[in-house]
Amino acid sequence: MSPFRPDPTFYPSPRLAASAPRETLAYVALLNAANDGRPDALGVVDVDPGSDAYGTMVGRVEMPFPGDELHHFGWNACSSHLCPWAPHAHVERRYLILPGIHSSRIHVLDTRPDPRSPRLVKMIEPEELMERTGYSAPHSVHCGPDGVYLNGLGAPDGDGPGGIFVLDHETFEPRGAWELDRGPQFLSYDFAWHLGQDTVVTSEWGTPKMVRNGLDPELLLGGKYGNALHVWDLRRRRHVQTLELGAQYQMTLELRPARNPGKAYGFAGVVISLEDLSASVWLWYREGRNGRSRWAVRKVIEIPAEPADPGLLPPLLKGFGAVPPLITDLNLSLDDRTLYVSCWGTGELLRFDVSDPFHPKKTGSLRLGGIVRRTGHPNDESRELNGGPQMVEVSRDGQRVYVTNSLYSPWDAQFYPEGIRGWMALATNGTDGTFSLDQRFFLETETGIRPHQVRLQGGDASSDSFCFP
């Protein structure tokens, strides 16, 4: 029976979320790339600085079958459940929904009664998912006001279109495809919404066939990966506008909308430019007045490639003589003021002040790993690391930034052919404006196990959305 009071981790506004007690546990998707027949897992990490086990893995649940390729995951319910038009205040933030991109299987894990050892309570089998939704390769998970929203990268046959589907937030039954009119949209990767604007934005990567055998240089040079954002009407479930970035901008991935529902803008990361291997961050925003408004997009951050000795580069990059930064993830603090950008190729985590979203100011940079640099962690600087800051998750209070280093196993092998050695690190913001790595927090996973997305107990900067400013 659900509780009589709203879940204490449902926060009406971003400000109230930021002032709630800090997280003590982090959940992290663990991909098994060892090819040893063992499955992927969900790890539980102690992030309570007062605990003896701080920075170590204190729990682990294996999925029942090998080969899922866990990637992103999310909560069944969160702060959006306080939205006034869909008041579901008495559902609990309790279940983690973990889709496997390769298996198309969706796992539901219960974090009660013991949050350190979640239990598998339900699976949606690939056949059922495909039949009920028409999608495969489930990817992003976002808790919406009236259900759990996910997207699939493609259709059951591995081509497109990919799109959004919804699960019931209590029974986890797939309710079917979300779109009523998808317009020209075909590719899918992430989705985000502005609850105050009844607007959804989606991004583009590639269909399952275009990504699961690795980055295809022919498709890339032909500009065939995604290069647009799509704007949708959340209520009417209709496509309203395509925002083209230009064919040279390949792979529009993570979307980070402003958390204040009154603000109509957000940031999108673009992995690579075919012109100069640079990576970029784009701002989508609404311009014009009510009734005559339209959405627009413009580049606000560009990170150049770093020249490098071809002898140190993997086969895919040898011909270019440079390391592309490869922006693979972004995260925005709940106060909408600080944007974190991970450059998985060059091994850099960047911090920007985005108080003025049109003119971001760089305020910090940390190096860790990288294709050529191999920067070590401050707790043992002599030891080289590989992989680079990839998935970024920010605590609700904006003080701590958790990063992990693997991207996606077929692509990991192309950029880090020697095999990524998994790690999770923590960057902290000092009160004096410094941005540094926590020396006490550096978690390395065993050989073959690679960490991916992190979710924090009680919610984090990217899991929740709000209907109140």
- Chain residues that interact with another protein, rule: CB under 8 A: 2-6, 8, 10, 12-13, 16, 82-90, 146-147, 195-198, 234-235, 261-262, 467-469
CB atoms within 10 A of CB 60: 16
Q: Give the Cα separation of 361 and 297 in Å (integer).
A: 18
**In the complex with another protein, which residue's Cβ is closer, 4 or 381?**
4
Q: Give the Cα separation of 134 and 116 in Å (integer).
A: 35
In the complex, least distance from residue 286 CB atom to another protein, rounded to whole angstroms: 12
In the complex, least distance from residue 355 CB atom to another protein, rounded to whole angstroms: 19
**In the complex with another protein, which residue's Cβ is closer, 10 or 402?**
10
**In the complex with another protein, which residue's Cβ is closer, 84 or 184?**
84
**In the complex with another protein, which residue's Cβ is closer, 88 or 373?**
88
Q: Give the Cα separation of 199 and 187 in Å (integer).
A: 18
Q: List C-alpha distances in Å: 411 to 65, 328, 345.
A: 22, 12, 12
In the complex, least distance from residue 6 CB atom to another protein, rounded to whole angstroms: 5
**In the complex with another protein, which residue's Cβ is closer, 2 or 213?**
2
Q: Return the closest-CA partner of residue 329 out of 348, 318, 319, 344.
A: 344
Q: Return the closest-CA partner of residue 248 out of 275, 271, 267.
A: 275
In the complex, least distance from residue 89 CB atom to another protein, rounded to whole angstroms: 5
In the complex, least distance from residue 99 CB atom to another protein, rounded to whole angstroms: 22
In the complex, least distance from residue 371 CB atom to another protein, rounded to whole angstroms: 44
Q: Give the Cα separation of 207 and 137 in Å (integer).
A: 9
**In the complex with another protein, which residue's Cβ is closer, 7 or 69?**
7
Q: Give the Cα separation of 282 and 305 in Å (integer).
A: 17
In the complex, least distance from residue 265 CB atom to another protein, rounded to whole angstroms: 16
In the complex, least distance from residue 413 CB atom to another protein, rounded to whole angstroms: 43
**In the complex with another protein, which residue's Cβ is closer, 265 or 282?**
265
Whether residue 21 has a cis bond before it, omega within 30° of 0: no
Cα torsion 420, 69, 456, 51 to 10°: value is: -50
In the complex, least distance from residue 193 CB atom to another protein, rounded to whole angstroms: 10
Q: Give the Cα separation of 416 and 344 in Å (integer).
A: 10
Phi-psi bin for 22: left (phi > 0), alpha (psi -120 to 50), beta?
beta
**In the complex with another protein, which residue's Cβ is closer, 90 or 122?**
90
**In the complex with another protein, which residue's Cβ is closer, 132 or 175?**
175
